[in-house]
Amino acid sequence: MVTVLVDRNKEEIKILGHSGFAEYGRDIVCSAISAIVITSVNAILTFDNNYLQYEEKKDIFTIKIKKKNEITSNLITNMLNLLKELEKDYPNNIKIKEEIR
């Protein structure tokens, strides 16, 4: 299962794991998650490379928001909404956890 951890205080999002829907390279859920996240990150970075920082490791993708503004807020909100829609369709393969303090 892919877990999306959203920490609003740290302005950080971590995407962890593999969905388990199918084997690596054939998994439509992981592909959808990757497409949503990478498209969102690239869109933000087209405005300014300093708006966020990201790191990709095996089965871990971390996004740190460096400059919170209307652009980053809207695109991150859109990304999370798309992931939530995916979670509705594939509840056994993706879980979103938001931490708000």
CA distances from residue 66 to 6, 39, 40, 45, 52 in whole angstroms, order as listed: 15, 18, 15, 11, 5
Query: pTM of the prediction?
Result: 0.92
Q: What is the CATH number of the domain that holds 11?
A: 3.30.70.1490
Domain that includes residue 77, residue range: 2-99
Q: What is the pLDDT of residues 55-81, one digit of tens each?
A: 999 889 999 999 999 999 999 999 999
Q: What is the mean pLDDT of the chain?
A: 94
Q: Quick: pLDDT tens for 35-54.
A: 999 999 999 999 999 999 99
The domain total for the chain is 1
For strands 94-99 and 2-7, give the pairing: parallel
- Report d(CA 69, CA 61) in Å as an integer: 22
